[in-house]
């Protein structure tokens, strides 16, 4: 039964014009991937975003189902782990992203729901200074328990992976192709080490080539799976700045290392800082301090917080989010209260005025009640 449902989950991602957003909408209305394919056309067309053409594509999805069966065989043969949107071990941070992938393919042993995750991005042609910054950052993060994510590309990406491994930090590469290959091929050796001390992650099926159109999709995972995105050297335009923009839209903390104004490879980072799209950092200490990761987090769960009678219903939802932890990231509060970021932000500000909430660096909030 599990494999049967997985077949439908894979097939759902292969139907033309049914992307991650519409796919989640279908799941919300139908209950499971299997039920999507068994639903009647007259009911499918009533689902928001699903017109007659999409409904027809779902009902005549024989090709997608056959391809899904082939992918099942590949998964079983090479021991690939699948993470569907509704699975308990699906990366929880990606659930907050509207266009987060429906299905992920993973090979490795790192916990994709680690307590602290950073993504590191940068130019494919770094200077010696950029390489040294990356190396020093990983050295100084040794022992922090941080999971390091990047895209296994040339330049800053592969240097982040390499030095993370050298400093006993688990590292995960998010790739723009299936897990039946490694691109670029020269990174095959480090990819092998990463699978033993981290992992490889993608939302593409096997036999998918690393075409240019796939990299923006890859970048949304790099941006969404982390708590903080760090940019190390970037030109004025490029994939790193696109990833930083995506991360900002996901309400992630974005950081950038500054450089000399005359250096082309510093234009992107300096621009992010100058436009307040990224906070400036100069070392690992700056990052850890900004993310409030210097202090040891409480290990004991707190008792149920008594609700204050004078609070509104929405404010009580915010307060109830802190039943197990004293401090929460705004994304965790949104998830627990089932409210939007804008609504939660306004309520947190009001609760802060009432001395019930205190804001901390890194979009962390502490309950004082």
Q: Is the pLDDT of residue 14 over 90?
A: yes
The predicted structure's pLDDT at residue 1: 54
Higher-scoring residue by pLDDT: 250, 313: 250
Q: Using one digit for the tens of pLDDT, what is the confidence trace for 274-287?
A: 999 999 999 999 99
Share of the chain above pLDDT 90, in %: 67
Beta-sheet strands, E only, within the chain = 81-84, 103-108, 117-122, 147-150, 171-174, 198-202, 228-232, 253-256, 279-280, 327-329, 357-360, 364-367
The predicted structure's pLDDT at residue 163: 98
Q: Is the pLDDT of residue 38 over 70?
A: yes
Provide the token pair at 124.
């494919």
Q: Is the pLDDT of residue 353 over 80?
A: no
Provide the token pair at 301.
């769960």
* Pairing verdict, β 171-174 and 198-202: parallel
The predicted structure's pLDDT at residue 339: 86
Domains and CATH numbers, the chain: 2-77 (1.10.150.20), 108-290 (3.40.50.450), 313-367 (1.10.10.10)
The predicted structure's pLDDT at residue 246: 96
Q: Is the pLDDT of residue 106 over 60?
A: yes
Q: How would residue 51 be classed by pLDDT, with cut points 50, 70 and 90? A: confident
- Up-side HSE of residue 20: CA atoms within 13 Å toward CB? 19
The predicted structure's pLDDT at residue 304: 45
* Pairing verdict, β 117-122 and 103-108: unpaired
Report the candidate in 101, 63, 86, 94 with the shortest Cα–Cα distance to residue 6: 86
Q: Is the pLDDT of residue 165 over 90?
A: yes
Q: Span 3-13, mean pLDDT?
A: 94
Q: How would residue 297 be classed by pLDDT, with cut points 50, 70 and 90? A: very low
Provide the token pair at 245.
């923009």
Higher-scoring residue by pLDDT: 348, 231: 231
Q: Is the pLDDT of residue 331 over 90?
A: no
Q: Using one digit for the tens of pLDDT, what is the confidence trace for 183-205?
A: 999 999 999 999 999 999 999 99
Report the candidate in 318, 264, 312, 256 with the shortest Cα–Cα distance to residue 287: 256
Q: How would residue 295 be classed by pLDDT, with cut points 50, 70 and 90? A: low
Residues 82/9, Cβ–Cβ less than 8 Å? yes
Higher-scoring residue by pLDDT: 209, 301: 209
Q: Using one digit for the tens of pLDDT, what is the confidence trace for 122-159?
A: 999 999 999 999 999 999 999 999 999 999 999 999 99
The predicted structure's pLDDT at residue 59: 84
Q: Using one digit for the tens of pLDDT, what is the confidence trace for 234-260?
A: 998 888 999 999 999 999 999 999 999
Residues 36/15, Cβ–Cβ less than 8 Å? no
User: Please, what is the average pLDDT of the chain?
Assistant: 91
Q: Span 8-18, mean pLDDT?
A: 93
C-alpha to C-alpha distances, 195 to 106, 158, 167, 182, nearest whole angstrom? 9, 14, 16, 12
Q: Span 263-269, mean pLDDT?
A: 95
The predicted structure's pLDDT at residue 342: 81
Q: Span 308-333, mean pLDDT?
A: 82
Tell me: cis bond preceding 35? Omega within 30 of 0 counts. no
Q: How would residue 298 be classed by pLDDT, with cut points 50, 70 and 90? A: very low
């Amino acid at each position: 039964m599990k494999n049967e449902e997985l077949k439908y989950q894979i097939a759902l991602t292969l139907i033309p014009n049914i992307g991650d957003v519409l796919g989640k909408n279908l799941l919300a209305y139908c209950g499971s991937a299997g039920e999507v394919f068994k639903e009647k056309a007259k009911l499918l067309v009533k689902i928001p975003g699903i017109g007659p053409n999409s409904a027809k594509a779902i009902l005549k999805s024989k090709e997608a189902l056959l391809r899904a069966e082939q992918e099942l065989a590949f998964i079983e043969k090479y021991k690939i782990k699948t993470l569907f949107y509704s699975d308990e071990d699906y990366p929880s941070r990606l659930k907050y992203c509207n266009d987060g992938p429906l299905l992920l393919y993973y090979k490795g042993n790192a916990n994709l729901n680690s307590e602290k995750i950073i993504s590191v991005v940068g130019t494919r042609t770094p200077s010696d200074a950029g390489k040294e910054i990356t190396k020093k950052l990983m050295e100084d993060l040794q022992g922090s328990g941080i999971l390091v994510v990047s895209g296994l590309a040339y330049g800053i990406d592969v240097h982040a992976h390499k030095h993370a491994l050298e400093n006993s930090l688990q590292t995960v590469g998010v790739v723009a192709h299936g897990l039946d290959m490694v691109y670029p091929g020269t990174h095959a050796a480090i990819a092998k080490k990463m699978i033993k001390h981290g992992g490889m992650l993608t939302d593409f099926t096997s036999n998918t080539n690393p075409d240019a159109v796939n990299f923006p999709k890859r970048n949304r995972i790099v941006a969404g799976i982390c708590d903080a995105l760090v940019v190390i050297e970037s030109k004025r335009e490029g994939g790193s700045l696109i990833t930083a923009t995506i991360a900002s839209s996901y309400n992630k903390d974005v950081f950038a290392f500054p450089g000399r104004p005359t250096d082309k490879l510093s234009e992107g980072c300096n621009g992010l800082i100058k436009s307040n799209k990224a906070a400036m950092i100069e070392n690992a200490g700056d990052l850890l301090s900004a993310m409030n990761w210097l202090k040891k987090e409480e290990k004991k769960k707190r008792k149920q917080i008594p609700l204050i009678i004078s609070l509104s219903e929405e404010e009580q939802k915010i307060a109830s989010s802190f039943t197990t932890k004293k401090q929460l990231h705004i994304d965790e509060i949104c998830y627990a209260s089932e409210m939007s970021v804008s609504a939660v932000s306004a309520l947190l500000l009001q609760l802060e005025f009432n001395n019930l909430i205190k804001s901390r660096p890194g979009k962390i909030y502490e309950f004082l009640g």
